[in-house]
Amino acid sequence: MENSQLTTLSQNTMPACIDIETFKSMYYILKAKRDTDIKLYDDDKNFTFDDFKELNRKIYTKLRNHVYTTDMVNIVVGMKNKESISFGSWAQFCEYDWNTPQVVKYIVLEWTVQINLPEKPIPQEHSVRIKIGNDLTPNEVISLLFANGNDIDIEQAQSQMVCKIDFVNPQFCSELFSVVSEWYNALPTNGSRGKHRIYKWLAGHNNLITTLIQLLLLLAGVLCINTSYYILKDYLNQLPNTLQDIRVLSGGFLLLYIFHIIGKFLSSHVYNRLNKLQRPQTIEITKGDKNAHSEIINKNKKLLNGIIKDFLIALAVNAICLFIMKIL
């Protein structure tokens, strides 16, 4: 009797057939499981406050082509003094007083909307998350490695801009990526883009450059030994063979050691300057951003001039030794 009541109850309360699309829609909402696509952008663009406003306008222009029930905007602005400011709406972000000396390190913008899709009876959540800024310190890179442990996270962290879209409808995802890519490609490139490429190449080949300087000084030492031997040839010929060999070897080692010390000093000087090269400030929202941009450009210019100067000194020493050897 009890079993028959349970059977009757289940038949009255449970639907005979659950529509698969309804089930999938409810599953997406309950489990919050969506597909994700990520694109990286690293063309050294420059971002201003008006550029962010334009991006927001473009995204909402695209949203007007669809029916959406709710929309939310979250913005996080991280400063180089390890402070961060969070905004729960676009109006708060625009109304904030940005006339501050603080320097922006990164900015994260996220739009979350519930889209009504023709094939889905329940609105589906889609989100666009954009992170701009890649000025990571070595400690932050190491922390990211231990925290995540895969290459894609490090690659994202080192890219100037990352766009991540969580979606249910692939076509809508593609449309959003087109909006973001079109906006990014239209941005002006950093005014020092060409110089930054030089800085990036130099910083990436610091060991090669310092080794080259050391080799140039060692070569100068060899040239100096040959020149000294030519000058002292008559004096050395008057000495016994054993004593002559001792004088030549000891004098040669001494000269090589002196030039090795000079080369080590110059290469260390260049290495320190290479490590101080910085990427110019690409986000310009606050007054501090504009000041930091100018300061970094001037600092990099001085460092580059110093590197060229040290390299020319190494070449000049070789040229002088070679010239003296030729005229004797």
Q: In 10 A of CB 214, how many CB atoms?
A: 19
CA distances from 116 to 73, 113, 123, 176 (A): 18, 10, 5, 16
Maximum pairwise Cα distance, the chain: 129
Distance separating alpha carbons of residues 123 and 121, to the nearest angstrom: 7
Whether residue 256 contacts residue 218, with contact meaning beta carbons closer than 8 Å, is answered with yes
Half-sphere exposure of 125 (CA within 13 A, CB side): 16
Rg (the chain; Cα; Å): 33
DSSP state letters, 130-145: EEE-----HHHHHHHH
Whether residue 68 contacts residue 120, with contact meaning beta carbons closer than 8 Å, is answered with no
Crossing angle (nearest 10°) for helices 193-204 and 287-327: 60
Q: In 10 A of CB 82, how many CB atoms?
A: 7
* Mean pLDDT in consecutive groups of 10 residues from the start of the chain, 328 residues: 40 51 58 74 88 95 86 90 89 92 91 81 84 66 49 65 88 91 89 62 80 88 79 68 70 83 89 84 89 87 89 87 76
Output the pLDDT for position 57. Answer: 95
- In the chain, the amino acid numbered 8 is T
Output the pLDDT for position 34. Answer: 67
By CB atoms closer than 10 A (0-12, 13-18, 19+), residue 128 is: buried
Output the pLDDT for position 250. Answer: 76
What DSSP designation does 281 have?
P
Whether residue 195 contacts residue 308, with contact meaning beta carbons closer than 8 Å, is answered with no
Output the pLDDT for position 6. Answer: 35
In terms of DSSP H, where are the helices of the chain? 2-13, 20-31, 49-63, 90-95, 138-148, 151-158, 170-186, 193-204, 206-231, 233-237, 241-275, 287-327
Distance separating alpha carbons of residues 241 and 243, to the nearest angstrom: 6
Residue with token string 């057939």? 17
Output the pLDDT for position 58. Answer: 95
Task: Please enumerate in sequence order all residues whose Cβ is within 8 A of that of 206, keeping only pairs 6 or more positions apart, or say none.
Answer: 270, 271, 274, 275
What b/e readout covers 110-119, taking b as 16+ CB neighbours within 10 angstroms?
A: ebebbbebee
